[in-house]
Structures are given as structure tokens and as C-alpha cells.
Structure 1
Amino acid sequence: MKSAWIILSALIGGMLLGIVVETISVDAGTASLPFIEPIGLLWLNALKMTIIPLIVALLITGITATADAARAGKLAGRAVAIFIGANLVAGLMTLLVLPLLLRAFPLSASAAEGLRHGLGGTTETAPSPHFADFLLSLIPTNPIAAAADSAILPLIVFTTIFAFAITRIGGAERATLSGFFKALGDAMLVVIGWVLALAPIGVFALGYALAIKAGIAAFGGLAHYVLMLSMIGVCTIILGLLLAVLVVRIPLPRFIRAMVPTFAVALSTQSSLASLPAMLRSSAELGVDPKKADIVLPLAVALFRFTSPAMNLAVVVYVAWLFGIELTPWEMAVGLAVALAAALSSVSLPGSISFVTSIAPIAVSMGVPVAPLGLLVAVETFPDIFRTLGNVVGDVAATKYAADGIDDDAPPAGEAS
């Protein structure tokens, strides 16, 4: 949390300095751009270079870990199915609700133009491919070339197929390949950690350039983005509560009372992992067998991000709307599929890292610019509060639903039935 606030402070400081310089002398602001903006772009390129290998490594380890968990027993398998189904519902909610919110709370034309110009965006988009061409592009004839060309969607298709193939080979071979990609992912996380350590410098430069290009309107644009994403976060929490009441059959007052200690920990730490002990107590208060909770809740913390597909899609849909990109139904369907896959690959990662690794492949697969993520990650501090609250709601509700659907184990042989 400390690093997130430092990055946010760097963004605000860079923007304030840019506005002051622009106010004093427009020529000085313009003249300073070639010296300061490349620093931010260099940092952004360093962030982008980690995306391809990290996505491949984390997607493979996420799928193999999910498959192993599903094979661990009926309770674990039921839990994994619930996780995937809940993520699908949450992602669909964003695709339906966010366009309505953007129409109900539009950004002013001047603020939108200023923010778009400051982020280097353009309203000129390439024509959407025909559906047949789109289908043909899903299967890469050369996965290495797809990776080199940053063709994320076909690369994800190949990686997903490869990951499921790994789950069908012998135990020793599966462990070897899974271990290799886990090591690759761990090494790339070290690299991206180094890059994010320089985030205050890069974000400061990007914020300065944004303010020089867009002026005070940049603050309004970023505030609108934070508001829209936070509203989707609130909608996701409401969706989780509705699922708890209507599907899991828990009375709302009882669920809220049981979750109060967990909410307190989630708000103070913004971490689902740190909230695990509190979630175990909340589950016990809701009548979940502790033995079952001890299986499902750690699995939920490791594999389940109820808010990830919803809020990650919201970022991409917002950027598309800002840049005037019309998303077709199949592009949104592909984005939803990639968001579900990315949710598996971002397990247990810090917020700033998962923000980039989860959202970048969604954006590329939907034809939406990736560059704005370098700045938007700086204001993730506020929406991340709703991410954590929604995640703990989803974790506890899913645990209760999974546990209620599985009978207690039969007594061991030799005991009276």
C-alpha cells in the first residue's frame, strides 16, 4: 500500500508541475517535453517487455494449478467450478452495466479530448475484421511469431491448449514442465518488480507530459475514470451480495453481520490473503464446516478473484470508449474469455503487477491501446479498495455454497454407519 501511495503521489506531483510550467510559459512546457516524456515512455516500454513471457508463464501455471485443484476431490472440484461461474457472471455484468454508466455520467468533451491527447490516443481505428477472418486469426500457425508480433489472442489460445495438454501427461513430466514455467514466471516477477520500483520516476514523467498536453482537464479525466471504475466495483460487491442471498440462500443481515470483521481487515490491508483468518471466522459464523472451509477458502484466495474479470474489463472498455473504439459483440466475448483466463494467471500477485499482467492481454485482444495502463496503474489505489471488498464477499459466499453442496465424508470402514 505504501508503494501505491508513492506512485499516486508521483503522478499528482508530475501533473501539478506540468500545469505550473504550462501556466508560466507555454513555450517552456512544450520545449521540456522532449526531455521529460521519453523517461516515462522508456519506463512504459520496460513494463511492456515483461508482458508476453509473464502471461505465458502465469497462464500455464494457473491452469495446471486449477486442474490439479479440481482433481483433488469433489469439494475442490465443485469450488473451482463455482469460481469460474461467478467470474463469468461478474464479467458479463460489466459489459452490460459500464456502457449504461458512461451514458448516464458522461465525461465532458474537453476533458475527454484533453485526456485522450495526453495519453497519445487517437479516434482513428482500423476497420473490424470480418467474422471469418477473426476466427481464422484465433489459431496461430506459428506461436513463436505470434509472441514476437505481440499477437496476444492467438498466443493465449495456443498457451491455453498447451497448458491443458500438460495436465494430461505423466506426473513426472507434468511436474517438470510446470516447474519450468513456474520458475520462468517467478524470474519475470522479479524483473517486473525492478521495473515497478522505478514507477515513481516513470509515472512522474508521464504525469508531467499528460499535464503539458492536456492541462487541468487531465485531472477531471482521471477523476472520471476512477469514479467509473469504483462504481463498477460497487456493482460487483452488490452482485456478490445478491448471489449470496439468492443462490447461496443466506439472509442478507446474517451475511453482513458475519462479514463485518472481514470487511474491517480487508479495508485496512487491501489484501485477500491477509483477510484469510477473518474469512475463516466469518465462514464458521455462517455455519460452514471448518474442515471444508480449511480446504475451500485457501483455494479461493489462491485461485479466485471475483472482481478481477469485472473490473479489468471495465478498464479496457473505458479506454475503448475514451478513444472512440467501437467494440463488436465478438470482441467483447473474446475480451471476457481472456479476462477469465487472466484471472487465473494473476493469482496471489501484488495489485500493481496483476493490474498490468491481467489487463494488458485483454486490451490487446480487443484492439484497445495498452499505453494508458502506465498512468492508470497510478490511480488504482482507490478502485483497489472495492476489488478487495468484492473478493472477500465472493470468497466467503463461494465457500458456503461449495460446502453446502457436498455431503460429509462417509465414516471409515469398520465404524458403525
Structure 2
Amino acid sequence: MKSAWIILSALIAGMLLGIGVEAVSPDAAQASLPFVEPFGTLWLNALKMTIIPLIVALLITGITATADAARAGALAARSVAIFLVAIFLSGLMSLIMTPTLLRLFPLSASAADALRNGLGGPTEAGASPTFSDFLLSLIPTNPIAAAAETAVLPLIVFTTIFAFAITRVGPEQRATLSGFFKALGDTMLIVIGWVLALAPFGVFALGYALAVKAGFAAFGGLLHYVLIVSGIGVCVVILGLLLAWLVVGIPLPRFVRAMVPTLAVAISTQSSLASLPAMLGAATTLGVDAKKADIVLPLAVALFRFTSTAMNLAVVVYIAWLFGLELTPWEMAVGLAVAMAAALSSVSLPGSISFVTSIAPIAVSMGVPVAPLGLLVAVETFPDIFRTIGNVVADVAVTKYAADGVEDEAAQEGSAP
């Protein structure tokens, strides 16, 4: 939380300085750009260099961990299946609602132009690939070359096949390969942690350059982004409540009353992991057997991020809309698949780290520029509140639904070593 506010403060300070210098001396402001902007670009490049190894490592560890969890017993297997369905519905809702919100609440043309010019990137959509081109691009003839060329979609296809193959080899070989990629992922997360430690300086430089190029309109553009993505967060929370009512069968007043302590912790900490004890209490209040809750809820905190697919896709769709990129149905389908994989492979990290590691692969796979993420991470503090609220609501609802469908014997089997 402290780090997020420092990054946000650096963004605001950089933008205010840029606006001030531009107001006093436009020539001096333009002359300063070649000296300030490269520091922001350098920081962005440092973020980008972690994307490809992180995609491979987190996808493999996520799939193998999910497969291992599904083998743990009937309750765990049922929980994983419910997780997959729920994050699919969440992402599908986002692909429908984000363009709808952008049509209902458009950004003014001047603010959009200013923000677009300040962030840089394509302003016109390239030629859309045909469906045959899309199919042919799925299978890489050389996975190493695909990684070198940052061709993320074929790389993800290969990595997914490779990860499922790992789940079929012997226990010792599976442990060796899983351990290697787990170590690779942990190492890259340390690297990205170092890069993000420099985020205040990089974001300050990017904010300064944005303000010099876009002026006060940049503030309006960023506010519009925060409101749209937070709006999707509200939609996800509503979807979670509706699923708890209509699918799980819990009356809304009863569910909300049980969730009040959990929501208080979630809002104050913005951490699903920190909310786990309160979620266990809420599940017990709703009639979930304690043994079953002890299995499903930790599994949900580790693997299930109900809001991730929806809000991560909302960020990418917003960037595509801002730069005038027309997303094809199959590009959105690919984005949904990658968003689901990213949600399952994410780990409990500070929001600034998970923001980059989860959204960058989605953006690259959909052909959307990732450079704006370096600035948007600074305002993630506000949408992140809705991420945590939606996650804890869904975690408790899924725990109730999974537990009600499995007998006690299955729970005991799942808790066995």
C-alpha cells in the first residue's frame, strides 16, 4: 500500500512539474524532453525484459499447480472446475461491458488525443489478420524464435502443451521440471521487484513527459481510465453477488451480513491473503463445514482470482480503444484465454507487480501496446480496491458451492497427505 501511494505521488509530481514548466516556458519544456523522457523509457524497457520468461515460468507453474490441486481429492477437483468456469464468466462479462461503458461514457476527443499522444504507440489499427492467418500463427515452428520475436500467442500455446506434458511424466521428473520453472519464476519476480523499486523515478519521468505533451488533459484521461476500470470492478462485484444468490442459493441479505467483517479487512488491506481468516469465519457463518472450508479457501486464495480476468481485460481493451485498435473476435478470445491462464498462474504479490505480470502477456497476445502500463500502474491503487472486494466475495461463494456438492468423505480424502 505504501509503495503504491509513493508511485502515485511520483506520477502526480511529475505531471504537475511538466505542466508548470510548459506553462512558464514551452520551449524549455520541449527542450527538456530528450533529457527526462529516456529515463522513463529505460525503466519501461526494464519492465518489458521480464515479460517473456515470466510468461513461461508462471504459466507452467500455474498449470502444474492447478493439476496437482485437482488430484488432491473430489472437493479440490470440484473447486478447480468451479474456479475455471467463474473466471471465464468474469472475463466474458468484461469483454461485453468494457466496450459498453466506453460507448456510454466516452472520453472527450481532445482529452483522448492528448492522452494518446502523451502515451505514444499506434494511433491507427493495422491490417486485421484473416482467420486462416490467425490459425496458422497458433503453432510455432520454433518456440525459441517465437520467444525471441515476442510472439506471445504461439509461445503460450507451446508452453501450455509443454506444461500439460509435465503433468503426465513421473513424479520425480515432474518435481524436477516444476521446481526449475518455479525457481525461474521466483527469480524473475525478484528482478521485477528491483525494477519496480525504481518505479517512482521511472513514473516521474513518464508523467513529466506526458504532461509536457498533453497538458491538463492528461489528468482527465487518467481519471476516465480509473473510472472505467473501477466500473468493471463494480460489475464484477455485482456478478459475484448474483452468482452467490442465483447459483449458490444464498439470500443476498444473509450473504452480505456474513461478509461484512471480511469486506472490512479486504478494503483496509487490499489483500485476499490477509482476508483469509475473516473469509473462514464468513464461510462458517454460512454453514460451510470447517474441514471443507480449510481445503477450499486456501486453494481459492492460491489459484482463484475472480476479478483478474475481467479487470485485466478491461485495461487492455481500454488501451486498444484509446489507440483506435479494432479487436477481432478471435483476438478477444485469445485475450480471454491468456487472461484465464494469467489469473491461475498469478501469485500473491503487491498490486504493482501483479499488474505488470498479469496484464502485459494479455496485451502482447492481443497486439496491444504495453508501454502505457508503465503509467497506468501508478493509478492502479483505486481499481485494486474493487479487485480485492470481488475476489473475497467470490472466494466465499465458491467455497459454499463447492462444499455443498461434496460429501464429507471427499473432504477427508482431499485433506489427506
Amino acid at match of 1:406: V
> Which residue of 2 is the match for residue 204 of structure 1?
204
Please give the alpha-carbon distance, in whole angstroms, between the structure 2 residues aligned to 1:39 and 1:139: 37
Change (3 A) 1:35 1:273: same
Please give the alpha-carbon distance, in whole angstroms, between the structure 1 residues aligned to 2:348 and 2:338: 18
Cα pair 1:11 1:378 within 8 Å, conserved: yes
Deviations 1:157-199 (A, max 9, x none): 1001000000000000000000000011111111001000000
Q: Does 1:386 align with 2:397?
A: no
Partner secondary structure for residue 189 of structure 2: helix
Deviations 1:276-301 (A, max 9, x none): 00000000000000000000000000
Deviation at residue 209 of structure 1 after TM alignment: 0.2
Change (3 A) 1:411 1:215: closer
Partner secondary structure for residue 367 of structure 2: coil
Deviations 1:255-312 (A, max 9, x none): 0000000000000100000000000000000000000000000000000000000000
Mean Cα deviation higher: 253-262 or 341-350: 341-350
Please give the alpha-carbon distance, in whole angstroms, between the structure 2 residues aligned to 1:411 and 1:107: 51
Please give the alpha-carbon distance, in whole angstroms, between the structure 1 residues aligned to 2:306 and 2:124: 34
> Which residue of 2 is the match for residue 40 of structure 1?
40
> Which residue of 2 is the match for residue 272 of structure 1?
272
Q: How does 1:288-307 map to 2 (within 5 A)?
A: 288-307=288-307
Cα pair 1:245 1:251 within 8 Å, conserved: yes
Amino acid at match of 1:325: L
Please give the alpha-carbon distance, in whole angstroms, between the structure 1 residues aligned to 2:72 and 2:104: 46
> Which residue of 2 is the match for residue 9 of structure 1?
9
Please give the alpha-carbon distance, in whole angstroms, between the structure 1 residues aligned to 2:69 and 2:32: 54
Deviation at residue 123 of structure 1 after TM alignment: 1.7
> Which residue of 1 is the match for residue 141 of structure 2?
141
Deviation at residue 410 of structure 1 after TM alignment: 8.0
> Which residue of 2 is the match for residue 415 of structure 1?
none
Change (3 A) 1:411 1:66: closer
Please give the alpha-carbon distance, in whole angstroms, between the structure 1 residues aligned to 2:122 and 2:409: 60
Deviation at residue 219 of structure 1 after TM alignment: 0.1
Amino acid at match of 1:260: V
Please give the alpha-carbon distance, in whole angstroms, between the structure 2 residues aligned to 1:132 and 1:122: 24
Cα pair 1:37 1:206 within 8 Å, conserved: yes
Q: Does 1:158 align with 2:158?
A: yes
Q: Does 1:373 align with 2:383?
A: no
Unaligned ranges ≥5, structure 2: 413-417
> Which residue of 2 is the match for residue 84 of structure 1?
84
Q: Does 1:222 align with 2:191?
A: no
Please give the alpha-carbon distance, in whole angstroms, between the structure 2 residues aligned to 1:302 and 1:122: 37
Q: Does 1:74 align with 2:90?
A: no
Please give the alpha-carbon distance, in whole angstroms, between the structure 1 residues aligned to 2:211 and 2:157: 39
Please give the alpha-carbon distance, in whole angstroms, between the structure 2 residues aligned to 1:33 and 1:156: 37
Cα pair 2:302 2:348 within 8 Å, conserved: yes
Unaligned ranges ≥5, structure 1: 413-417
Q: How does 1:5-404 map to 2 (within 5 A)?
A: 5-404=5-404
Please give the alpha-carbon distance, in whole angstroms, between the structure 1 residues aligned to 2:389 and 2:410: 36
TM-score, normalised on structure 2?
A: 0.98
Cα pair 1:62 1:347 within 8 Å, conserved: no
Deviation at residue 406 of structure 1 after TM alignment: 0.4
Please give the alpha-carbon distance, in whole angstroms, between the structure 2 residues aligned to 1:81 and 1:22: 55
Please give the alpha-carbon distance, in whole angstroms, between the structure 2 residues aligned to 1:39 and 1:337: 34
Please give the alpha-carbon distance, in whole angstroms, between the structure 1 residues aligned to 2:16 and 2:411: 68
Deviation at residue 408 of structure 1 after TM alignment: 1.6
Deviation at residue 348 of structure 1 after TM alignment: 1.6
RMSD of aligned C-alpha atoms? 1.0
Identity percentage of aligned residues: 82
Please give the alpha-carbon distance, in whole angstroms, between the structure 1 residues aligned to 2:12 and 2:209: 12
Amino acid at match of 2:176: T
Please give the alpha-carbon distance, in whole angstroms, between the structure 1 residues aligned to 2:374 and 2:328: 25
Structure 1 runs of 4+ off > 2 angstroms? none
Partner secondary structure for residue 56 of structure 1: helix
Please give the alpha-carbon distance, in whole angstroms, between the structure 2 residues aligned to 1:280 and 1:384: 22
Aligned length: 412
Cα pair 1:304 1:347 within 8 Å, conserved: no
Deviation at residue 411 of structure 1 after TM alignment: 12
Deviation at residue 210 of structure 1 after TM alignment: 0.2
Amino acid at match of 2:361: P
Change (3 A) 1:141 1:27: same
Cα pair 1:55 1:345 within 8 Å, conserved: no
Please give the alpha-carbon distance, in whole angstroms, between the structure 2 residues aligned to 1:336 and 1:122: 22
Mean Cα deviation higher: 382-391 or 51-60: 51-60
Deviation at residue 349 of structure 1 after TM alignment: 2.4
Please give the alpha-carbon distance, in whole angstroms, between the structure 1 residues aligned to 2:221 and 2:63: 37
Mean Cα deviation higher: 360-369 or 378-387: 360-369
